[in-house]
Amino acid sequence: MRRLAIFMLLVSASALPAARADTQAALAVLEAECLGCHGAAAMSGLDLRTRESVLQGGSRGPALVPGDAEASLLYRVLRGVREQDRELRMPSGKPALGAEHIAAIASWIRNGAAWTERPLDAGGQWWAFRRPAAREADIDKPNPIDGFIASKLRARNLEPAPEADRRTLIRRAYFDLHGLPPAPEAVDAFLADSSPAAYAKLIDALLASPRYGERWGRYWLDVVRYADTGGFETDIYFPNAWRYRDYVIRSFNDDKPYDRFVKEQIAGDEIWPDDIELRGGYRIPEEKLEHLEARLGTGMYAIGPVYHEAALDGRQLRYEWLTDAVDTTGEAFLGLTLGCARCHDHKFDPLSQRDYHRMMAVFAGSEPKEIPVVNKMSQFGFYSGYPRLLKVEEYKAAVKRIDAAARKRLVKQVEAGFSAEVLAAYRVPRGERAPEQREQAAKVEAALTAAGLKENAAGRTARLEYTPQERDDRERLLYELGKAALAANYRIASATVLGHAEVRYPVRMTSRGDYRAAGERVAAGFPAVFTGGREQAATQEPASGPFVPQRRKALAEWLASPDHPLTARVMVNRIWQGHFGRGLVAAANDFGRQSDPPTHPDLLDWLAVRFVEDGWSVKKLHRRIMLSEAYRRSSLPVAANAAADPQNEMLWRMNRRRLDAETLRDGILAAAGKLNLKMGGRPVVPPLSADEMQGIWSPAQWPVSLDPAEHDRRSVYLYVKRSFPYPLFTTFDAPDTSVSCARRNVTTVAPQALTLLNGEFMREQAKALAGRAEDPRRLWRLALGRDPSPQESERTAGLAPERLALLLLNLNEFLYID
């Protein structure tokens, strides 16, 4: 694409006077090939953006001698020069430029090295910053996706793999859309249905199931670094994070148009400001509920890491929140690593530090807020029942009074061991003690600490002794306390969403990411590369008077515009990645210049354009992809292609994929017949083995769900604790939730084998699977969707059912989807 652009420039320039054509061609080469390092980044001191800076040169001296190419370093390094003992050749670490490009540079220098009126700009040329082109495929196929892929295959002389067999197809489709294996009956029905529409019907049915949103919502949760806690030592709990998680799942299940999904998450509150007041009845008007739902989307900005230490300085806390908001927005929606521009201008993309701070200003003045999600009548209901809560408080206080009395007696006992003089010293207020009194008091304090009567990090550990009367009272009070607690309501159901802070602090430029080094004030705006290189304010804001903030609304509407060069492409690429294991752009969060351009640029653009035309429907996109030949191909090798494209970049076959952590757990639970399909709600806290529990700093922050049925819920509903990720998931490459995750790691390590062979979870599930059928062949069908071969049956005949079940769940055939 990049080379193509240069080529086109050369062609169109041929109509111009020769010197000017030379100039344009040469500068296009510089922009596309050199500015990444020798633009704003000025590596080795060389900045190629203006004629003056080129003439001035860098640490190796002047780069250009107009009229003399052979004397110009700029030209010589393209061919390679010897410098001391090593060769200096540009572009560094990349293949040399094509001969025609080098010739263009030479010719331009010989003609005097003229310049244009503007400085060069690395951004304008990059494919991802230009609107997608709606070009049709060269080859006509029923599904245009196949036309685009066929042209590439033909050009590379690659042979497409045949269609996968139907058993493979249904398993692939189930895991792809639901993250679950097909039941044996579903496999049988699909195999028996010979109608041509059987496969399309299957896809439609899978897309219509709520299991779909749970699977694809999870991908999005990776992108937005979802967690239920804030991380670090305090690891604060987000009581309402799950509402955002459920919102994401609902959005996918409802096939919410993606532009709406974007707008809701960034600015649901600013675009659809509303309350949930009743209007003459108990039902909240439908429209208000829709608006509430839209606001839940902004919960995306209320689930990031909370850098607990920053709470000691409000400015830092705010700065950390803003940078998380900008970084996540950049990666999730723009597919750009804006974070690089936090401390300095982006070295590779045309994103300045100023751009970064202008994006921060978009979020400045916003902050997470808790809003009720029940109507006023229910809120009144809570306050009408509030005295029950007071009752709870009364019983608690009564129990504590008894404990205090018992503790006091114990303290007296300890103090009885000291002389009156020492005790008198101890009673002197801390700051007023004389040195010898300090020593005396320290003895008392030490004795009290040793008796577990003083607060320290281990808490008060003393075992209190009660009088018979106290013991009776205490038991009765505890019973009453329990009864009162059962009857009381503790909170009004709420959601945590974005709202507006009462005080708006200005955003100032910072230096090297240090919030304290504040410079000039910056207004909200989008990266200048998208606005023709000029800074353009996101909103017109009144200098004074009442103000309804609209900054995020402006950002949301800009991103969700059908003309945006990145939004649709980035999402289409994520969906593609979900189906093929690798996106058309391999770096799903980085469409910038550091990444390789798409393997199929025309296909990516076509999909993006169609996505917008289809009303940003994600389900239609799934359908289009899954009905293609490309998706249905076998994943088995085709010998003829092995040398030409061993990595299958051209998509001559389907990629084999290992189940990710959640899908592995869900798949095992499903095979074992234990999966609990209950949807939504507060996160499930699964039990940990005693060994696993050893690693957690604060066991009190792991309140295991008491209902065992809850333990078998789908993985997307499990507690995501930032400071203690669920060990089974960590073992299978679940992402770190500190930043957006574009794509999971896939590692193969021995602890995975140990977990699947010896772990408690596996033993339970193997037992459950074994209990599902008398006939061992049925176990094969439940786990793998097929019968065993006679050899397989024969050699496993001696195995106890539980061992056979364990074997099946450990097979590569179970963990990898063909």
Pick out residues in 310-349 that bind other proteins (CB under 8 A).
312-313, 331, 337, 339-340, 346-349
* Residue 736 Cβ vs other proteins, minimum distance, rounded to whole Å: 6
Q: Is 92 in the site for other proteins (CB under 8 A)?
A: no
Q: Is 222 exposed, middle or buried (0-12, 13-18, 19+ CB in 10 A)?
A: buried
As a whole number of angstroms, the distance between CA 171 and CA 817 comes to 8
- Contact stretch for other proteins (CB under 8 A) within 147-155, 300-308, 484-492, 493-501: 300-308
Pick out residues in 399-428 that bind other proteins (CB under 8 A).
none
As a whole number of angstroms, the distance between CA 549 and CA 563 comes to 24
Pick out residues in 196-255 that bind other proteins (CB under 8 A).
231-233
As a whole number of angstroms, the distance between CA 59 and CA 378 comes to 72
- Contact stretch for other proteins (CB under 8 A) within 117-125, 354-362, 553-561, 716-724: 716-724
Q: Is 656 in the site for other proteins (CB under 8 A)?
A: yes
When the beta carbons of 21 and 728 are compared against other proteins, the nearer one is 728
Q: Is 466 in the site for other proteins (CB under 8 A)?
A: no
Q: Which residues contact 587 (CB under 8 A, 6 or more apart)?
A: 594, 595, 596, 742
As a whole number of angstroms, the distance between CA 373 and CA 377 comes to 12
Pick out residues in 657-696 that bind other proteins (CB under 8 A).
658, 690-692, 694-696
Record the tokens describing residue 13, joined without a space: 């320039």
Pick out residues in 598-617 that bind other proteins (CB under 8 A).
599
Whether the upstream peptide bond of residue 91 has omega within 30° of 0, thus cis, is yes
Q: Which residues contact 662 (CB under 8 A, 6 or more apart)?
A: 179, 218, 714, 715, 716, 729, 734
Q: Which of 693, 686, 692 is nearest to 713 (CA)?
A: 686
Q: Which of 462, 488, 285 is nearest to 382 (CA)?
A: 488
Record the tokens describing residue 721, joined without a space: 């604790």
As a whole number of angstroms, the distance between CA 810 and CA 769 comes to 13
Among the listed residues 200, 390, 709, 754, the single contact to other proteins using CB under 8 A: 754
When the beta carbons of 257 and 785 are compared against other proteins, the nearer one is 785
| Element holding 241 (H helix, E strand) | helix 241-253
* Residue 127 Cβ vs other proteins, minimum distance, rounded to whole Å: 16
When the beta carbons of 456 and 540 are compared against other proteins, the nearer one is 456
As a whole number of angstroms, the distance between CA 137 and CA 144 comes to 6
- Count of residues interacting with other proteins (CB under 8 A): 102
Among the listed residues 735, 765, 779, 785, the single contact to other proteins using CB under 8 A: 735
- Contact stretch for other proteins (CB under 8 A) within 42-50, 295-303, 308-316, 483-491: 308-316
Q: Is 1 in the site for other proteins (CB under 8 A)?
A: no
Q: Is 308 in the site for other proteins (CB under 8 A)?
A: yes
Helix (H/G/I), strand (E/B), else coil: 497: strand
Pick out residues in 620-649 that bind other proteins (CB under 8 A).
635-637, 642, 646-647, 649
Q: Is 59 in the site for other proteins (CB under 8 A)?
A: no
- Contact stretch for other proteins (CB under 8 A) within 2-10, 416-424, 611-619, 752-760: 752-760
* Residue 576 Cβ vs other proteins, minimum distance, rounded to whole Å: 13
Among the listed residues 275, 563, 736, 787, the single contact to other proteins using CB under 8 A: 736
As a whole number of angstroms, the distance between CA 229 and CA 303 comes to 7
* Residue 392 Cβ vs other proteins, minimum distance, rounded to whole Å: 30
When the beta carbons of 144 and 339 are compared against other proteins, the nearer one is 339
- Contact stretch for other proteins (CB under 8 A) within 131-139, 403-411, 619-627, 733-741: 733-741
As a whole number of angstroms, the distance between CA 291 and CA 560 comes to 18
Q: Which of 121, 127, 133, 38 is nearest to 532 (CA)?
A: 121
| 320 in Cβ contact with 307 (< 8 Å) | yes
When the beta carbons of 397 and 757 are compared against other proteins, the nearer one is 757
φ/ψ of residue 507, rounded to 5: -95, 130
Q: Is 746 in the site for other proteins (CB under 8 A)?
A: yes
Pick out residues in 798-817 that bind other proteins (CB under 8 A).
799, 803, 806-807, 810-813, 815-816
Place of tokens 């993985």: 715
Record the tokens describing residue 75, joined without a space: 């030209």
When the beta carbons of 74 and 766 are compared against other proteins, the nearer one is 766
* Residue 738 Cβ vs other proteins, minimum distance, rounded to whole Å: 4
For the chain, helix (H) and strand (E) counts, in that order, are 35, 8
Amino acid, res. 3: R
* Residue 404 Cβ vs other proteins, minimum distance, rounded to whole Å: 22
Pick out residues in 425-464 that bind other proteins (CB under 8 A).
430-431, 433, 435, 438, 441-442, 445-446, 449, 456-458
Q: Per residue in 663-692, is it b (16+ CB within 10 Å) or e — as a string?
A: bbbbbbbbbbebbbeebbeebbbbebeeeb
Among the listed residues 272, 319, 333, 724, the single contact to other proteins using CB under 8 A: 724
- Contact stretch for other proteins (CB under 8 A) within 149-157, 195-203, 478-486, 791-799: 791-799
Record the tokens describing residue 558, joined without a space: 């800009």
